[in-house]
Structure 1
Amino acid sequence: MAPKKATRATPKKAQASKPRKEKPLFVKLYLFLYNLLSFAGWGYVLFLVIKTLIDTNGNYTKVYDNIRNELTIVQACAALEILHSLIGFVPSPVFTTTCQVFSRVFVSYYILYYTNDPKTYQSPFLTVMVIAWSITEVVRYLYYALNIFKIHVKLLTWIRYTFFYVLYPVGASSECVLIYTSIPAVAKISKYCPYVNWVVLLSYVPFFPILYMHMIKQRKRVLGGKKKKTQ
């Protein structure tokens, strides 16, 4: 008998990454409502900022007086995103989500609301920061709300993953200026409070590049185009 032909062992195909499990309907509805309300909240904050500037002929010192409560509320709701990431409602990394939320909550509550220092909240950097935050969040939350039900708008997607190039540095640098500006005011609360400011300021050095590069990678993944499969 002729010997059997040796058959070449075919390498096993790499296991395809498992598709994400479909979220339960109640989770989808909750996230849709959360994102829609957040979109509306930040949109209202942006509207109030613009209205104040128009009504006062560009007097930025009046902006915080007219957005104080609204900004505090919408920023508090943003803290829920850490919980969403922890319990798996969204695939966002817990670390990056915590870093993003913490810096804004710190500025909104501790630096602005609690310290209540006129020199800080009447700074032009407050207005610049809130405008940068608001545009970022209006776009982001609307994108997320539509994406839950797989509604994709190309222009919105492009804005979501492009505007951050300017808005993130503008927002972060404004945050740093306000944190630094408030040091004399927080020193009146406790002699140890300025150390908190300095620790948070120094944390921007390693963490901001991490968050910025994370967004660049996200943009490349979403807008970079898919490679054609070859047989």
Structure 2
Amino acid sequence: MAGIFSIFRRIYLTIYNWTVFIGWLQVFYLSVKTLKESGHEDVYAAVEKPLLWAQSAAVLEILHGLIGLVRSPVSATLPQISSRLYVLWGILWSFPEIRTHFLVSSLVISWSITEIIRYSFFGLKEAFGSAPSWLLWLRYSTFLIMYPTGISSEVGLIYNALPYMKESLKYSIRMPNKWNFSFDYYYLALGILGVYVPGTPHLYGYMLGQRKKALARAKSE
């Protein structure tokens, strides 16, 4: 029974990884093509559909960790995926005014390069049991640049969306109301920006530790 489960697990994860890989490859191609042909103002419009589904699919990775399909700790994947989904749906999708900002380009390129490498790495590992050493090195090294550029873009886009949140009151709940409850999306965004301060170095340190372990293990094999 365990053997059958292992086979189905590998088939499922192989399909999952390569499917999402294709989505991110499309995001990267369209973003670079659009930057070259018409500029950063049109990047979001060009990549919106594949970006929304490719990044939203990552919710499944939280489930994968919870049920034991993968060994990645939920404590590491949850904040990364949550922050991305917030920026994607809570900022870019919700506030069209910032979709033409140049930081959208740096965001989607940083995300897509990272994910193209990551999903191809795990796709090969699940399909064949291993991945090339050069891909392993890329998997655990490109974040050294892509993580800072991606995080900086996330923070910058949230910050640039703040005036539109305050002006539109979108997603905010004002008193009085029948629930006797108030909520301000603007202050939630400020709180999230505050979380980036301790969260960013913590996650970066975690990834540095993972890199050291993975490369040391590969060298000893």
Q: TM-score range by the shorter chain?
A: 0.7 to 0.9
Match of residue 125 from structure 1? 103
C-alpha deviation, 1:112, in angstroms: 0.6
C-alpha deviation, 1:93, in angstroms: 0.7
Match of residue 178 from structure 2? none
Unmatched runs of 5 consecutive residues or more in structure 2: 175-183
Q: Matched residues in 2 for 1:26 and 1:128: separation? A: 37
Q: Matched residues in 1 for 2:48 and 2:66: separation? A: 29
What amino acid does structure 2 have at the position aligned with 1:103? S
Which of these residues, 202, 206, 216, is aligned with residue 208 of structure 2? 216
Cα deviation, 1:145-199, whole Å, max 9, x if unaligned, reads 1112312201101111111101001100110000010011122113711111111
C-alpha deviation, 1:226, in angstroms: 7.4
TM-score normalised by length of structure 2: 0.88
Match of residue 8 from structure 1? none
Say which SS state the counterpart of residue 57 (structure 2) adopts: helix
Match of residue 199 from structure 1? 191
Identity rate of aligned residues, in percent? 38
Say which SS state the counterpart of residue 162 (structure 1) adopts: coil
Match of residue 84 from structure 1? 64
C-alpha deviation, 1:225, in angstroms: 4.9
Q: Matched residues in 1 for 2:132 and 2:42: separation? A: 36
Give the 5 Å matches for 1:66-81: 66-81=46-61
Cα deviation, 1:13-38, whole Å, max 9, x if unaligned, reads xxxxxxxx876111111111000011
Say which SS state the counterpart of residue 224 (structure 1) adopts: helix
Give the aligned CA root-mean-square deviation in angstroms: 1.7
Give the 5 Å matches for 1:44-123: 44-56=26-38, 59-117=39-97, 120-123=98-101
Unmatched runs of 5 consecutive residues or more in structure 1: 1-20
Which of these residues, 177, 195, 200, is aligned with residue 156 of structure 2? 177
C-alpha deviation, 1:224, in angstroms: 2.3
C-alpha deviation, 1:115, in angstroms: 2.3
The reply to whether residue 145 of structure 1 matches residue 127 of structure 2 is: no
Q: Matched residues in 2 for 1:213 and 1:172: separation? A: 14
The reply to whether residue 154 of structure 1 matches residue 154 of structure 2 is: no
C-alpha deviation, 1:208, in angstroms: 1.3
Q: Matched residues in 2 for 1:225 and 1:42: separation? A: 28
Q: Matched residues in 2 for 1:199 and 1:32: separation? A: 37
Call closer, same or farther: CA 1:225–1:94 in 2, change over 3 Å: closer
Q: Matched residues in 2 for 1:161 and 1:46: separation? A: 20
Q: Matched residues in 2 for 1:40 and 1:31: separation? A: 14
Higher helix share: 2
Size of the aligned set, in residue pairs, is 204
Cα deviation, 1:95-138, whole Å, max 9, x if unaligned, reads 11001100100011010112222xx1111111001100000000
Q: Matched residues in 1 for 2:42 and 2:55: separation? A: 20
Match of residue 6 from structure 1? none
Q: Matched residues in 2 for 1:186 and 1:227: separation? A: 50
Q: Matched residues in 2 for 1:161 and 1:67: separation? A: 26
